[in-house]
Amino acid sequence: MQRDDYLAQLARDGRRIADLARGDLAATVPTCPGWTLADLVEHTGNVHRWQTEAARVDAGGFPDMSHETGVAAGQSLADWFQEGVDRAVEVMSGVEPDATRWTWAKGPGDVAQWYFRRIAQETYVHRIDAELTAGVEITDADPAFAVDGIDEFCDVMIPQAVGQAINGGGKTLHLHATDAEGEWLLTLHDDRVDVARGHAKGDAALRGAARDLLLEVWGREPLGPVEVFGDESVVATFRTAARL
């Protein structure tokens, strides 16, 4: 996917969250224990702001956000959030994909395109969180975008989990998307997860729509059916680790 694809997805999902933020901000978020809708919107809006600043300039570390003052007097949380989405699209549209930028990732991601992908994928998952909170219809995205989200999770998030108590014992889990081309083999070690892409036989398998597999890796309940094959204890280990 290219920069403009990510930013178009960000604009759509961001607008949806802003619209939902005009509803009951005290509603609890079922996928983020302890959060209200207001917490979710504030978190995502702040993520947008620091990622936009990090993509804008190469600060060599986390960007200086001292200029951010939060929601202005008389401004709604929804308008504040939409303001951040609009700013992100505007600024990132002018950032070249090969521009060098700092990121916190251990894995791939030393160019500005890391931010295009990260901001769009983060917003996509939180848009679903917001829709579930509001009890409204779940809008969807191209399955290829969800596959890209699983790839990003494997590229960016799994390397951060080295040292985490996975307790997988070297067992393998195969993920197979049914509505787009995407297959992954995860080897669950005791303290890390290794990833290989492509068709393979694992000790267990999860088979379902790419969106639902993306929710699985992000520690959320799938919205549609996901078939489980093989050793169910491997699936349980994976789901426990994903929720940490």
If you average pLDDT over residues 129-149, what whole number do you get? 96
pLDDT, tens digit, 9 for 90 and up, residues 176-207: 999 999 999 999 999 999 999 999 999 999 99
What's the pLDDT at 123? 98
Tokens standing for 177?
């998307």
160/124 Cα distance (integer angstroms): 21
Task: Write the DSSP symbol of residue 161.
Answer: G
Residue 82's identity, in one-letter code, is Q
What's the pLDDT at 153? 96
Is 134 within 8 Å of 27 (Cβ atoms)? Answer: yes
Count CB atoms within 10 A of the CB of residue 59. Answer: 12
What's the pLDDT at 113? 86
93 has pLDDT over 80: yes
Rounded percentage of the chain residues whose pLDDT exceeds 90: 88
Nearest alpha carbon to residue 25 among 52, 45, 9, 5: 45
Is 36 within 8 Å of 28 (Cβ atoms)? Answer: yes
Give SS3 for 77: helix
137/127 Cα distance (integer angstroms): 11
| Torsion of the alpha carbons at 49, 52, 53 and 54, rounded to the nearest 10 | 120
Is 17 within 8 Å of 127 (Cβ atoms)? Answer: yes
Is 130 within 8 Å of 99 (Cβ atoms)? Answer: no
CA 2 to chain centre: 17
- Identify the residue with better confidence: 60 or 212: 212
19/159 Cα distance (integer angstroms): 34
Tokens standing for 57?
């300039």
59 has pLDDT over 90: no
What's the pLDDT at 110? 67
Contacts of 25 (CB under 8 A, 6+ apart): 36, 37, 38, 41, 77
What residue ranges define each of the domains in the chain, with the CATH number in brackets?
Answer: 3-139 (1.20.120.450), 145-242 (3.30.1050.10)
pLDDT, tens digit, 9 for 90 and up, residues 148-159: 999 999 999 999
If you average pLDDT over residues 210-226, what whole number do you get? 97
What's the pLDDT at 109? 62
Tokens standing for 18?
């802003």
Output the average pLDDT for the chain. 95
Q: How far is CA 122 from CA 71, 146, 197, 202, in A?
A: 21, 11, 22, 28
What's the pLDDT at 14? 98
Residues in the chain: 244
227 has pLDDT over 90: yes
Nearest alpha carbon to residue 9 among 136, 108, 142: 142
